[in-house]
Amino acid sequence: MITVGLFIPCYVDQFFPHVGMATVRVLERHGVRVEFPEEQTCCGQPMANSGCADEARPLAEKFLRVFRGYDYVVAPSGSCVSMVRNHYDGLVGGRTGHEHLKAHTYELCEFLHDVLHVEKVEGRFPHRVGLHRSCHGLRELRLGAGSERNVPGFDKVKKLLSSLEGITLLEPSRADECCGFGGTFAVNEEAVSCMMGKDRIADHEQQGAEIIAGIDMSCLMHMDGLIRRAGKPIRVRHVAELLAGEG
């Protein structure tokens, strides 16, 4: 039986515990033993993305210490996984366990698709769902082909979601434009960030989506904040919730 170290990003831990629990259920349903090492806090991405390597480094060191004993590390976030996979070289490169951690830290859908080779997820989700492709999952983890590149089309998240019974997946007219969250960008560049988010929401609304689903709560939190302020009926859900069969 595969054991994974569950990595729950700090803001998911504090604000979206149900997404963490859904992640546990999805993994367990697919025969995985889940361990949540309670020592964990944050991968250091907010600091690293602000250019504060000195502030990010101790957190990367802590992360490595906490997770290096696991065969696999899985998180319900493309962005935080990309931090560990693509941006730890300059922080903890060369340390014991870094290479293994880098190669074995997975975003949830990616883990189901690439490691467990899940073809079909049992469950029902009879809703009209707009798929939000979070940038780091798409362009840094390559969970999908991406609209920019001329490569054969694939989309690991969509493939898993589309196997749910009753689901209607809707494509926004701009397949993978950024929602404008961008970490500290969301407050540093508040005006542009919110315009980007509103544009994404409007695109999904135009397709008739009831729900915007994505792999990163950060993007969804940003769009949800805009949606609730505007009093719109559309809702956001993390992909883990859908895959856990929480219709």
Restricting to residues 81-120, name those near another protein by CB under 8 A.
87
Kindly report the length of the chain.
247
Whose Cβ is closer to another protein: residue 103's or residue 192's?
192
Closest CA to 143 of 96, 180, 106: 106
Check residue 182 for interaction with another protein (CB under 8 A): yes
Distance CA 124, CA 247 (A): 7
Under the binding rule (CB under 8 A), the answer on residue 224 touching another protein is yes
**49 lies in the site for another protein, by CB under 8 A:** yes
Residue 104 near residue 94, CB atoms below 8 Å: no
Interface with another protein, residue 196, by CB under 8 A? yes
Cα(176)–Cα(132) distance, integer angstroms: 7
Residue with tokens 């009209």: 128
Q: Is residue 233 within the footprint of another protein (CB under 8 A)?
A: no
User: Of residues 4, 5, 8, 144, which one binds another protein by CB under 8 A?
Assistant: 8
Among 89, 99, 147, 165, binds another protein (CB under 8 A): 147
**Piece in contact with another protein (CB under 8 A), picked from 67-75, 110-118, 130-138, 207-215:** 130-138
Stretch that binds another protein, among 105-113, 160-168, 176-184, 238-246 (CB under 8 A): 176-184
Strands 33-35 and 235-238, by their bridges, are: unpaired
List Cα–Cα distances, 3 to 12, 32, 223, in angstroms.
21, 6, 33
Question: Which amino acid belongs to residue 227?
Answer: I
Question: Using CB under 8 A, which of 51, 69, 93, 166 touches another protein?
Answer: 51
Task: State whether residue 6 is helix, strand or coil.
Answer: strand
Shortest Å distance, C-beta 186 to another protein: 7
The span of 99-107, 111-119, 122-130, 170-178 binding another protein (CB under 8 A) equals 170-178
Cβ 39 to another protein, closest distance in Å?
A: 5
Instruction: Name 211's bridge partners.
Output: 129, 235
| Using rule CB under 8 A, residue 17 touches another protein | yes
Sign of the C-alpha dihedral, residues 91, 46, 101, 14?
Answer: positive
Work out how close the CB of 40 gets to another protein at its nearest, in angstroms, rounded to a whole number: 7
Beta-bridge partner residues of 168: 128
The window from 94-102, 148-156, 203-211, 239-247 that contacts another protein (CB under 8 A) reads 148-156
